[in-house]
Amino acid sequence: NAGVTQTPKFQVLKTGQSMTLQCAQDMNHEYMSWYRQDPGMGLRLIHYSVGAGITDQGEVPNGYNVSRSTTEDFPLRLLSAAPSQTSVYFCASNRQGGNTEAFFGQGTRLTVV
Amino acid sequence: GNSVTQMEGPVTLSEEAFLTINCTYTATGYPSLFWYVQYPGEGLQLLLKATKADDKGSNKGFEATYRKETTSFHLEKGSVQVSDSAVYFCALLANDYKLSFGAGTTVTVRA
């Protein structure tokens, strides 16, 4: 029972490099989202998707791109990494509905130097 | 917009002490309310939830009651254990299906 799987768990990038954080879920959830977690700021929504082919911006979308070609996968792309993107990133999924539980991946700790 | 405010930590307690973490919210409509817990090195897990006014969510000895009149969802546990050391997040889910989180409260329980 995999749930939400994120890779990699740790990553160090140089300023200007690009990379993709992978996220996959096996629960057939319609809704997927990416958050970043920074000390004292809780989790902030970067991008989300309500289904395959549909994505939208969250609270802090600048510097990140997403796509949703399948129900299962929701990768997050950093096109040109900046030190301000040093953070812990979490992917989450849930069924659509007003009271459904969100399931989170283990997180990716990203450091941009 | 929607927002969640929870008490700042860190909170340090002795084993068997009483724990309260305050959480208040601002939202349009009738949101669902959640407490998530994050153990060291892990992702967030749902601890408990309440979907309408006066509902009480409970799990693992933790409780929280949805108070619409005070827009609050305070988390309580009567006797904490070392294993309860974690970061606790209050969150709400409004009509747009997007979760809004509080800043998180770090709780450390000492033996």
**Do the Cβ atoms of B103 and A42 come within 8 Å?**
yes
Q: What is the pLDDT of residues B5-60, one digit of tens each?
A: 998 889 999 999 999 999 999 998 889 999 999 998 888 999 999 999 999 999 99
Q: What is the pLDDT of residues A3-49, one digit of tens each?
A: 999 999 999 999 999 999 999 999 999 999 999 999 888 899 999 99
What phi-psi label fits residue A11: left (phi over 0), alpha (psi between -120 and 50 degrees) or beta?
beta
Q: What is the pLDDT of residues B65-108, one digit of tens each?
A: 999 999 999 999 999 999 999 999 999 988 767 788 999 999 99
Nearest CA in chain B to A48: B98
Q: Which of A35, A37, A49 to mutate to test the interface with B (most CBs of B within 10 A)?
A: A37
Closest by CA position to B105, among listed B79, B78, B76: B76
Cα–Cα distance between A45 and A60 in angstroms, integer?
6
Nearest CA in chain B to A108: B43
Tell me the chain A residues in contact with residue B106 when contact means C-beta distances shorter than 8 Å: none
